[in-house]
Amino acid sequence: MEQRVFAGITIAILLLSSILLYFNDEGTEDEEYYMGSNGLVPVWERGNQPFNTTGSYSYTLVKGGYEITGPNSIFVDVDLPTDEGGCVISNDCEIHMGLWLPDVPNGTKIPVIADIGPYYDDGDVDALTPANRLGEFLIENFVPYGYAVAQVSVFGTGESNHCMDFMGTSEQLGIDHAVTWLGSQEWSNGNVGIIGKSYDGSTPWQAAMFGNPYLKTIIPISGLIGVHDLMWRNGSMEARGLAMHNGVYGSFGWDGDSDDWQTMCQGYIEGYANGPAAYLAGNEVNYAGNTYWSDRHFLERTLQNYNGSIYFIHGMQDWNVDPHMAFPTYNTLLDNGYEVKGLFGQWGHHYPDRPGDQNSMPSGEGAEAFPYSVRYDWAQDLLEWFDYYLNNGNLKPSLHVEMQDNLGGWRIEESWPTNDVELLKLPIGEGLTVTSGNGLIGSGTTLTLRSEIFENETRISGMPTFHVDVTIPPTQTSGHLFIELSIADGIHLGHGVMDLRYHAGGRDCAQPCLVIGTVNAKMQLFAMDVVVPAGSAIELTISQTDRDYIPSPVSSGTVTIGTNANSILSLPIIERSEDDLFMPPIWYDEEI
């Protein structure tokens, strides 16, 4: 017990020293002005703190005091049920991890941070080498503060055996066993947090489904709340939806050794049928006892079982894992009573603090927000989060949303979308005027609508809708629409997509799942937080499809847009001023 208290005091002193760096040598500043009620420097004051803004990623204000030991190579036994194939090569299935520990006094109990994913030894370094993706950042910043850091390979990747189950039940059980092992070791204080981006940002959701008592916090960065949830939107499929299991991640299990045949697991075989079946249907094809896609939906079971906190991070310009993984999920978590914080910047499929990644964003998709998008205070932010939720600290981080608009301005919101939205409705023929096209939408034909000039700067914040009359000819049984919102003759603002069988919106369609005649398609655009400058107009361009979305498999023929007042673009508008914005520590160097 005394050793644990000693460790806690050490961490508290290090945190306090980083806070005190803010004040001048004479100590004449008003401490209450610079510190929030929680005893931490508010995020809007961090721009005045001496952060290192020259590295390839962020660092804590003060380096921790413990030496780093490791890595240790760890294999964790996992018992799999027979319906998951059991363990057919040996008596045990094993999850492999590399583990780094702080050199703390004997008997000190320490918390654990884990990054769990498929990439160690598969397109990246092995699990015993600090990964430039995230592991190196975690090890350098947090092991010196008394945290263990684990890099964990999911089944079928790295040195973990069994088969690559692509976010299926076997993978989920392996992750849960890894959490239990990390939380139950003699050196562990029993508190485990999982952080990661993309696939590694989906494993935190997988872990949360079990309600594991050792899992105290998750930090999903551009992760999936479910596999089908990502790759289908209103019945419309991304091209990769056909073969993500078999064409991409299934190959991770093939490394030329005698265990390669294990890759042919149940989920891998099911993937051959379920990708094409979901494309044809547009939904999870859960009939006839098929559970391939529902097994890979994480949010619902997280809401049922998870008891920890959530630090939610997503790029608002992410075209790999679109922001519909984050919204309206963020407010759903709030409504279910979770302690949740959000960090949402105008970056793509990136970490919040990497200028070398964010500087390549194109105009209209993040370029205008750079370099203000780079969060060099992120490591310090994570330290404060981990100290409270994993290390039993008493300085509770502020639970709010930090949202960045497309021009680079950061502000604080209680939730997002916010509760003070007012809808600006622009019907065709009244608020919107046809500037090109005749209403026929097919291969190579488009319709462009333009608003009147906005006299004042206008902030669109949320998920706009476009409810539009569409007529499907009697020779077809569906159609497909892609819409793009932009500044007139200028930058991209947002987009939306729909298979017209799902014209009511959502993940279900009326049976039989076909549509003819005229329907009002209730399209919802992806989440956006954008500013329309005063003196500008906006354009809405309607086409059959764009980017990586595939037209409806039922019919990709021509449909007719009703250019009448029944077709309405609704924009969620909020009022904010320059006084609501703050400046984080900024990377100024012109060279990376």
What are the angstrom distances between the C-alpha of 164 and each of 228, 254, 267?
18, 9, 8
Question: pLDDT digits over 3-25, tens only?
Answer: 333 344 444 444 444 444 444 44
Other C-beta atoms closer than 10 Å to the C-beta of 547 total 11
Please report the pLDDT score of residue 35 as a whole number.
77
Helix or strand holding residue 220 (H, E): strand 215-221
d(CA 528, CA 404): 10
Other C-beta atoms closer than 10 Å to the C-beta of 28 total 7
Strand partners, 539: 450, 486
d(CA 416, CA 122): 36
Q: What CATH number does the domain located at 68-307 have?
A: 3.40.50
Instruction: Let me know: does 222 contact 349? Beta carbons within 8 Å.
Output: yes
Please report the pLDDT score of residue 15 as a whole number.
45
CB burial of residue 258 (10 Å; 0-12, 13-18, 19+): exposed
Please report the pLDDT score of residue 254 as a whole number.
63
How many alpha carbons lie under 13 Å from residue 415 in its C-beta half-sphere?
A: 17
Question: pLDDT digits over 488-546, tens only?
Answer: 978 999 999 999 999 998 888 877 788 889 999 999 999 999 999 999 999 999 999 98
Cis upstream peptide for 81 (omega within 30°): no
What are the angstrom distances between the C-alpha of 76 and each of 159, 183, 284?
11, 13, 33
Give CA angle at 21 (20, 22), nearest 5°.
85
Instruction: Let me know: does 513 contact 503? Beta carbons within 8 Å.
Output: no
Sign of the CA dihedral running 473, 476, 478, 484: negative
Please report the pLDDT score of residue 250 as a whole number.
67
Please report the pLDDT score of residue 259 as a whole number.
58
Ordered by start, the domain boundaries in the chain are 1-65+356-416, 68-307, 422-578
Provide the pairing of β-strand 568-574 with 422-427.
antiparallel
Please report the pLDDT score of residue 304 as a whole number.
98
Please report the pLDDT score of residue 473 as a whole number.
92
Q: In the sheet where 110-117 sits, what is the strand order?
A: 68-78, 93-102, 148-153, 110-117, 188-197, 215-221, 309-315, 340-345, 401-404, 410-413, 581-582
Provide the pairing of β-strand 309-315 with 215-221.
parallel
Return the residue matching tokens 């021509």: 558
The three-state secondary structure class of 334 is helix
Taking only Cα atoms into account, the Rg of the chain, rounded to an integer number of angstroms, comes to: 25
d(CA 403, CA 469): 33
The three-state secondary structure class of 234 is coil
Q: In the sheet where 447-451 sits, what is the strand order?
A: 432-436, 447-451, 538-543, 480-487, 492-499
pLDDT tens string, the chain, 592 residues long: the values are 333 333 444 444 444 444 444 444 443 344 444 778 888 999 999 999 999 999 999 999 999 999 999 999 999 999 888 777 667 555 568 999 999 999 999 999 999 999 999 999 887 899 999 999 999 999 999 999 999 999 999 988 888 888 888 899 989 999 999 999 999 999 999 999 999 999 999 999 999 999 999 999 999 999 999 998 998 898 888 888 887 767 677 667 666 665 555 556 777 778 788 888 888 888 888 876 788 889 999 999 999 999 999 999 999 999 999 999 999 999 999 999 999 999 999 999 999 999 999 999 999 999 999 999 999 999 999 999 999 999 999 999 999 999 999 999 999 999 999 999 999 999 999 999 999 999 999 988 999 999 999 999 999 999 999 999 999 999 888 899 999 999 997 899 999 999 999 999 888 887 778 888 999 999 999 999 999 999 999 999 999 998 888 888 877 789 999 999 999 999 999 999 999 999 999 876 555 4
Q: What CATH number does the domain located at 422-578 have?
A: 2.60.120.260
Please report the pLDDT score of residue 552 as a whole number.
80
CB burial of residue 311 (10 Å; 0-12, 13-18, 19+): buried
d(CA 437, CA 449): 9
Question: pLDDT digits over 175-191, tens only?
Answer: 999 999 999 999 999 99
Q: Which two tokens stand for residue 520?
A: 């009002």
Other C-beta atoms closer than 10 Å to the C-beta of 367 total 18
Return the residue matching tokens 């012109």: 590
The three-state secondary structure class of 85 is coil
Return the residue matching tokens 């065709």: 428
